[in-house]
Amino acid sequence: MPNWIVQDRFGNEIYLTEERWEHIQERHDELAGRLDDLLDTLRYGERKQESLDPQQYRYRRAYEDLLYGFNHIVAIVVFRYDASGKSNNFVVTAWGAYIHPKG
């Protein structure tokens, strides 16, 4: 059951369940209490299709106030369709990462 539903910059509806949010916080304490930032990463972040699984997309967005050693939130979203043909796009996991600035 979706608990949070957002639209990305391309108009795709993506949902996050309570179970997935709890999993993310348990495994990645750098994201504890950062639900709004994770949702904003989905709304406004850069998106790249995964080469090994074209149904998965990696979203990322920079944040200056993450715990030391982290400067981005990264989320994996699976894009699928249900039996009726309606989109079923959901967050699988997310984590904090350090991504070296370009330049």
Determine, yes or no, domain membership for 82.
Answer: yes
Determine, yes or no, domain membership for 39.
Answer: yes
- pLDDT higher than threshold 70 for residue 34: yes
Structural domains in the chain (count):
1
pLDDT at residue number 70? 96
Model pTM? 0.93
Determine, yes or no, domain membership for 86.
Answer: yes
Give SS3 for 60: strand
Determine, yes or no, domain membership for 84.
Answer: yes
Q: Tens digit of pLDDT for each residue in 52-103?
A: 999 999 999 999 999 999 999 999 999 999 889 899 999 999 999 999 988 7
Determine, yes or no, domain membership for 55.
Answer: yes
Show the domain range for 77. 4-97
pLDDT at residue number 1? 67
Determine, yes or no, domain membership for 102.
Answer: no
Determine, yes or no, domain membership for 38.
Answer: yes
Asked whether the CA dihedral 37, 43, 49, 52 is positive or negative, the reply is positive
Residue 59, class by beta-carbon neighbours within 10 Å (0-12 exposed, 13-18 middle, 19+ buried)? Answer: buried
